[in-house]
Amino acid sequence: MSHSNYSFKSMIKKYVNSSVILIGFTVLAMILANWSLTSGWYSDLWTNKVSLSVGEFNLFSHNGHTMTLMEVINDFLMAIFFLSVGLEIKRELRVGELHDPKKALLPVIGACGGMLVPVLFFWLICPDNAEAHRGLAIPMATDIAFSLGVLALFKTRVPGGLKIFLATLAVADDLGGIIVIALFYSGSMHWGFFIAALVCLLIMVGANLLNVRVKSFYVIAGLIMWYLLLNSGVHATIAGVATAFCIPATLKKPTVHYLRRIVENVDYFRHIHTTTKEEDEDKLVALTNEEIHVWKSIESAADKMISPLQDLEDNLHNVINYFVIPLFAFANAGVVLAGMQFADLFSGVSLAIMVGLVAGKFLGVLSFSWIAVRLKMVQLPDNSNWKSFASVCMLCGIGFTVSMFIASLSYGDASAMLSQAKLGIILGSVVSALAACVLLNRTLPKETLPKE
């Protein structure tokens, strides 16, 4: 099994659990937002002020006001989410599927179609509404947790090539979403803060070039850059991605150096720890200071065999999947249905997003991929055909986390339109998931595929 196949299989496993939790918190948010006994409490919860102060300095303050809980979730916790996404993208560029241009080309081309065509559909459905057009980018994103979670339901019936295609496309989609946020969702510029943020970024780049491998240095520098960007007008979540691309992906010394150090210390530990009395071999004896020193040297060498990037990505896994994303869903998925009519689902922003996700993502990914294959630029994934490939393309219409985030950036001051956007995201994602399940069940092999 290749390293890249193993990394994607482990990625799919970790996203299955997080997708189930995400669904649970989404349903809970919908219930609390619309139940008369809890709706007031739910809506008021997110307007509470959050302060983290030292003297006159408040980390969660910008432009003279203290951030609400909703703002902390969407601006600070989502910066941590994008830090994780950036680490994942950088790893894939260095050692994963995106590292191999031949393997990366098909999902990247598919991702381009999956971003452009939904925007076109949105624009066609809302051609004369300038306010609605602020949400053009909402149906661009594919939710990696949900889409891989649905694909995992079919277990070993899914060819490995299709799993890798979907995961790589979702990563490329995230990169596209990050670029869109950076370019189109920033406010008026405060150049002093922005220049200071650039200086902070250059310091991290310089530290990487100087072989600084201390993770805490980059985390602290990234936090400072987040605060500076928060007050600069550039959306603060970009600090997460910028920090991720500065964190070293290589080791300070070759792997063999640390392996040799571990082996030598293990041999030395055995030598100094060996007892001369046979009857004492099974006794639990506290380590001497010398033995503790040797063991810590072994531990240090083992830690240094993992690059700062991969170590931080692994450490963030549980924080992102079991805290940040569920909390984001709980805060943002509470669509208030009161005052909405059934017809609202089939007009305006809701319809534009639903069509963009269900039809736009499917047609965009499939058509761009088909053209690339016909031009012999790329080939279909191994052990797949056009029917099974099209079924996976339908999964790309599951947009949640990044789509919800872009919706909050687009319609933050227009609560009615924001509710319509969220409803369109949820329904479009559900329709895409159900349609994909039907298609996958019909097009995938009925029997279990041999292990790859």
Residue 259, pLDDT above cutoff 50: yes
From 304, 319, 338, the end of a domain falls on 304
Stretch 391-419: mean pLDDT, rounded? 85
Domain boundary among 263, 281, 304: 304
Q: State residue 396's pLDDT score.
A: 93
Q: Which of 155 and 414 is assigned the larger pLDDT?
A: 155
Pick from 164, 9, 11: nearest CA to 99: 164
| Same-domain status, 202 and 71 | yes
Residues 6+ away with beta carbon under 8 Å from 201: 225, 242, 246
pLDDT at res. 225: 95
pLDDT digits (tens, 9 = 90+) for 47-58: 999 988 887 888
- In Å, what is the CA distance from 111 to each residue of 81, 139, 144, 171, 298? 20, 12, 13, 9, 44
In a domain, 450, yes or no: no
Same domain? 98 vs 211:
yes
Contact (CB, 8 A) for 425 and 404: yes
- Same domain? 293 vs 397: no
294-303: pLDDT as tens digits? 778 777 777 7
Give the separation between CA 359 and CA 118, rounded to whole angstroms.
Answer: 8
Q: Evaluate whether 174 touches 141 at the Cβ level (below 8 Å).
A: yes
Quote the pLDDT of residue 7: 53
Cβ atoms within 10 Å, residue 255: 10
Alpha carbon distances (Å) from 185 to 69, 129, 189, 198, 405: 20, 18, 12, 18, 11
What pairs with residue 68 in β-bridges?
Answer: 49
pLDDT-based confidence at 1, cuts 50/70/90?
Answer: very low
**Amino acid identity at 106:** L
> Domain range for residue 297?
255-304
- 327 located within any domain: yes
Give the whole-angstrom CA distance, residue 450 versus residue 240: 40
Each residue's pLDDT tens digit, 114-146: 999 999 999 999 877 788 888 889 999 888 778
For position 114, what pLDDT does the model report?
Answer: 94
Name the token pair of 275. 């007892």
Distance CA 77, CA 81 (A): 6
Let me know whether 336 and 235 are in one domain.
yes
Q: What is the pLDDT at residue 96? A: 67
Amino acid 380 reads: L
Higher pLDDT, 57 or 346: 57
The answer as to whether 372 is a domain residue is yes
If asked whether residues 75 and 216 sit together in one domain, one would say yes
202 and 293 together in one domain: no
Render pLDDT for 277-333 as a digit per residue (tens, 0 to 9). Answer: 554 555 556 667 777 777 787 777 777 777 888 889 888 888 888 899 889 889 888
Name every residue whose Cβ is closer than 8 Å to that of residue 449 and which is 6 or more positions away in sequence: 156, 157, 158, 159, 383
pLDDT at position 274 is 60
In a domain, 311, yes or no: yes
My answer on whether 62 and 13 are in the same domain is yes
Residue 253 CA: distances (Å) to CA of 25, 131, 204, 260: 44, 54, 20, 12
Q: Which residue has the higher pLDDT, 267 or 343?
A: 267
Percent of the chain with pLDDT over 70: 88
Task: Kindly provide the b/e burial profile for residues 295-305, where b requires at least 16 CB atoms within 10 angstroms of the residue's own CB.
Answer: eebbeebeebe
Kindly state whether residue 8 falls inside one of the protein's structural domains.
Answer: yes
Same domain, 159 and 215: yes
88: in domain: yes
Residue 145 and residue 402 in contact, taking contact as beta carbons nearer than 8 Å: no
Residue 332 within any structural domain of the chain: yes
Q: How far is CA 11 from CA 69, 239, 247, 414, 444, in A?
A: 30, 24, 21, 37, 21
**Distance (Å) of CA 430 to CA 158, 172, 234, 248:** 21, 22, 33, 39
**Residue 451 belongs to some domain of the structure:** no
Closest CA to 213 of 95, 316, 99, 303: 303
Same-domain status, 377 and 267: no
**What token pair was written down for 44?**
């008021």
Q: What is the CATH number of the domain that holds 16?
A: 1.20.1530.10
Whether the CB-CB separation of 52 and 60 falls below 8 Å is answered with yes
Same domain, residue pair 382 and 316: yes
- What was the pLDDT predicted at 276? 47
Domain count, the chain: 2
Structure-token pair, residue 56: 């006159």
Lowest pLDDT segment from 142-151, 198-207, 240-249: 142-151
- Whether 267 and 314 map to the same domain: the answer is no
Last residue of a domain, one of 283, 304, 325: 304
Per-residue pLDDT at 282 = 55
Assessment of whether the complete model's pTM goes beyond 0.85:
no
Is residue 364 within 8 Å of 122, Cβ to Cβ? no
Q: What is the mean pLDDT of residues 389-398?
A: 93
Average pLDDT over the chain reads 83
Do residue 133 and residue 114 come from a single domain? Answer: yes
CA angle 27, 410, 165 (to 5 degrees): 65
Is residue 273 within 8 Å of 295, Cβ to Cβ? no
